[in-house]
C-alpha cells in the first residue's frame, strides 16, 4: 500500500490502482480529494471535513463515494445524493477495494466546558489506523499508526502514552499543521525516544510504502 502524506490530517492510500483519501479538511490542499475513489471523514471539524474539497473530489470522479459518521452525513447527503454512507463504531465495510473497520465514538476532550462531538477512526486493511481527533486504541494489532502529534486537545505525554498503548510497528505524524518547524525536533526526539515504536514524519506530498 502506498501512503502519501497531505497537509494536516489528510492522507492518501493507494492500492491496486485505486485511491482512498481520509480527512480532506480546510487545512488540506484544495485538491486533496481529487483522484479519490473513496473518501473517509472522521468527524465534523473543519480541519478534517471540507464540503468544498469533497465536492472537488466527487466532481472529478463521478464514481467516488464517501463514508463517514452520522453528524457529517446529515450535512452532506443532500448535496451528494446516493454517494454518502453512514458508519459508526464496530462497522466494517469495503471502500474502493480497501477493507475498513470503524473504531471509536467520541472526539477527545478539548475542555470540559466544550461539548464532545462524535469521532470515528478507521483501520484500513487491518494495518493502517487513522484515529481522527481521538486517542482510540483499536482491538486489533496496528502496523502503522497515523499519529495526531499536536492538537489543542492533547499534550506530548498523552501522545507518547498513546503510541505505547497501541504498540504499532511505526507511527507517522499527522495533525501537524500547528506544529512549527522550530518545535518539530522536540517532538521527534521525545516521541521517538519514549514511544517504543519507530517514529516517522513525511513532508506533505511525500510517500512511503506501508
Domains in the chain, ordered, with CATH? 2-209 (3.60.15.10)
pLDDT given at position 71: 97
Cell numbers found for residue 81? 445524493
What's the pLDDT at 36?
98
pLDDT at 12: 98
pLDDT given at position 136? 98
Beta strand pairing status for 198-200 and 121-124? unpaired
CA distance 153 to 100: 26
* pLDDT, one tens digit for every residue, the chain (210 residues): 999 999 999 999 999 999 999 999 999 999 999 999 999 999 999 999 999 999 999 999 999 999 999 999 999 999 999 999 999 999 999 999 999 999 999 999 999 999 999 999 999 999 999 999 999 999 999 999 999 999 999 999 999 999 999 999 999 999 999 999 999 999 999 999 999 999 999 999 999 999
Strand 11-15 to strand 144-148: parallel, antiparallel, or no bridges (unpaired)?
unpaired
Mutual angle of helices 156-166 and 184-194, in 10-degree steps: 40
Amino acid at each position: 500500500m502506498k501512503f502519501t502524506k497531505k497537509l494536516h490530517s489528510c492522507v492518501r492510500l493507494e492500492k491496486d490502482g485505486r485511491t482512498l483519501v481520509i480527512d480532506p479538511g480546510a487545512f488540506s490542499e484544495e485538491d486533496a480529494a481529487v483522484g479519490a475513489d473513496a473518501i473517509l471523514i472522521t468527524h465534523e471539524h473543519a480541519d478534517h471535513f471540507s464540503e468544498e474539497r469533497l465536492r472537488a473530489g466527487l466532481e472529478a470522479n463521478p464514481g467516488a463515494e464517501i463514508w463517514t459518521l452520522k453528524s457529517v452525513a446529515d450535512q452532506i447527503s443532500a448535496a451528494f445524493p446516493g454517494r454518502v454512507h453512514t458508519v459508526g463504531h464496530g462497522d466494517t465495510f469495503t471502500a474502493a477495494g480497501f477493507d475498513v473497520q470503524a473504531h471509536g465514538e467520541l472526539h477527545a476532550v478539548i475542555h470540559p466546558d466544550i461539548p464532545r462531538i462524535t469521532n470515528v477512526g478507521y483501520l484500513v486493511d487491518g494495518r493502517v489506523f487513522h484515529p481522527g481527533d481521538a486517542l482510540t486504541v483499536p482491538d486489533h494489532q496496528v502496523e502503522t499508526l497515523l499519529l495526531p502529534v499536536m492538537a489543542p486537545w492533547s499534550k506530548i505525554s498523552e501522545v507518547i502514552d498513546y503510541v505505547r498503548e497501541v504498540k504499532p510497528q511505526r507511527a507517522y505524524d499527522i495533525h501537524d499543521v500547528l506544529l512549527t518547524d522550530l518545535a518539530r525536533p522536540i517532538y521527534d526526539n521525545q516521541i521517538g525516544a519514549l514511544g517504543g515504536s519507530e517514529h516517522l514524519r513525511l513532508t506533505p506530498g511525500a510517500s512511503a510504502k506501508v
